[in-house]
Amino acid sequence: MTTAIEKSATEETLVANPVGAKRKRSPRLIERGSTTYRILLGVGFAVAAGVIAWGGSLGPFEQGQLTRVAIYAIAIAGLNIATGYLGLISVGHSAFFGLGAFTTGVLVVKYGWSPLATMPAALLICFVVGLVVGLPALRIKGLYLATVTLAFGVAFPEIIAYFSDLTGGSKGMTIPRALLRPPSWSGFTLGEKDQWLYWLSVVVLLVVAWVIRNLVRSRYGMAMLAVRDNEIAAAASGINIASVKTTGFGVSGAITGVAGSLFAMYMGSLYAEGSFTLLAGITLLIGLVIGGSSTQMGPLIGALIVVYLPYYTSDIGQGQGAAVLFAVILIAVIFVAPDGVAGAVRRGLARFVTVQPVDPPPALIPSAPSGDQSKQA
């Protein structure tokens, strides 16, 4: 004979789990470093290598589009450091993009540098300028900081016009094709410049992705996330807020400057009023928001959308109709995936598979002294 307590527990169980109710499927847990994890990682690398090799076999136009995707992905990855991981909204990153491009153009045309050798120079110059531009972030943040970066982006074409002796001013700068010859050790000829730029852009993108991945997982990366989430708590924990902000903005500008250097090699013609205006900075920010900020795959997804979406919408509509259709599609993507496409994909995969770190070995806890020993002490 069942007691009243047992009967009540049985009724509660039936209410909580009615007959025919579907149980929510829990995701499969995969430990990082396990055999299954390594197999999945190997499959992912194999697919990525296959896509990269496939892109290298395409025609000049299709391959050129993929080159632009890689270049924009690098630029958006640089913006992701400041806006995504550090929480500093920047609208004027087009200025770093243009600064890196004109650094390559000036050094190649005026001083006879090799195009490849100008990339470290573009990185260093944009890093220093990024440190200077990041100084206002020590006092202001949010929309006020966005206004400062907006002013930097608007002023960049005027700065280029002021130094017209070096940059060509409003007429722009054209880099002769012969000066963009691939290096002899690459095995590519001048007629294969497009293929050389494709492989160079892909390699630089992979290196940037690896550097950012390690940076975010380092102590400095943890400090960036702490500053983004709560500056007061970060300062109370001993984090140097000024150093983290200025250095992060410098690294962000340097990576975007490298993308600008590649863009100069790709285009060969530089016009500050055409390619490096405020609209270009907004385009980078749109790519980051739609792709997914604070994610590894977000910049690549954003670059794919920024390059291919205007191309396909231009076939559907013409003129202002194409621009309106492009805006409608962007709004729809943001509405469906408010945390970006990468965030939506990550949430979808989390329903089926969850990767968890390996549990650390139990710490060796010293045994407490016995009663006799404590008395003797």
Residues 60-82, mean pLDDT to the nearest whole number: 94
**For position 89, what pLDDT does the model report?**
87
Whole-number mean pLDDT of the chain? 83
In the predicted structure, residue 259 carries a pLDDT above the cut 60: yes
How sure is the predictor about 122, in pLDDT bands with cuts at 50, 70 and 90? very high
**For position 36, what pLDDT does the model report?**
78
Half-sphere exposure of 349 (CA within 13 A, CB side): 11
Residue 90 resides in a domain = yes
pLDDT for 16-35, tens place per residue? 455 444 555 677 777 776 78
| pTM, two decimal places | 0.85
Rounded to an integer, what distance in angstroms lies between the CA atom of residue 317 and that of residue 323? 8
Rounded to an integer, what distance in angstroms lies between the CA atom of residue 278 and that of residue 152? 9
Residue 250 resides in a domain = yes
pLDDT for 280-312, tens place per residue? 888 898 889 888 888 889 999 999 988 988 887
Residues 343-371, mean pLDDT to the nearest whole number: 66
**For position 319, what pLDDT does the model report?**
56
Rounded to an integer, what distance in angstroms lies between the CA atom of residue 194 and that of residue 92? 29
Rounded to an integer, what distance in angstroms lies between the CA atom of residue 320 and that of residue 67? 27
**For position 186, what pLDDT does the model report?**
86
Rounded to an integer, what distance in angstroms lies between the CA atom of residue 48 and that of residue 40? 12
Residue 91 resides in a domain = yes
Give the whole-number percent of the chain exceeding pLDDT 90: 33
Lowest mean pLDDT among 190-199, 201-210, 322-331: 322-331
Residue 376 resides in a domain = no
Helices (H), 57-168: 60-79, 94-109, 118-133, 143-162, 164-167
Domain total in the chain: 1
- Find the helix or strand (DSSP H, E) in which 174 lies: strand 173-174
**For position 275, what pLDDT does the model report?**
80
Residue 318 resides in a domain = no
Rounded to an integer, what distance in angstroms lies between the CA atom of residue 206 and that of residue 316? 34
Strand-pair category, 353-356 with 173-174: unpaired
Write the CB contacts of 166 (distance below 8 Å, at least 6 apart in sequence).
Answer: 106, 110
Instruction: Return the higher-pLDDT residue of 213 and 333.
Output: 213
Domain span at 212: 73-285
Write the CB contacts of 91 (distance below 8 Å, at least 6 apart in sequence).
Answer: 146, 149, 150, 153, 278, 281, 282, 285
Residues 233-258, mean pLDDT to the nearest whole number: 92
Which residue is associated with the tokens 């739609």?
290
Residues 186-200, mean pLDDT to the nearest whole number: 90
Residue 66 resides in a domain = no
**For position 143, what pLDDT does the model report?**
78
